[in-house]
Amino acid sequence: MTALPRVVGAVALLALTMCACSTSGAEGGEPKLGSVPTPGHLDAAQITTPLDAYLPSPEENYTLKKARVLLVNSCMRELGYAQNPQPLSRFSGEAYLEHGEFLVVPLEQAER
- The predicted-structure confidence for 33-42, as pLDDT tens digits, reads as follows 787 666 665 5
CB 96 within 8 A of CB 61: yes
First and final CA of the chain: distance in angstroms? 67
CB 44 within 8 A of CB 100: no
More confident residue, 76 or 20: 76
CB 75 within 8 A of CB 86: no
pLDDT of residue 67: 92
Tell me the three-class secondary structure of 14-36, residue by residue.
HHHHHHHHCCCCCCCCCCCCCCC
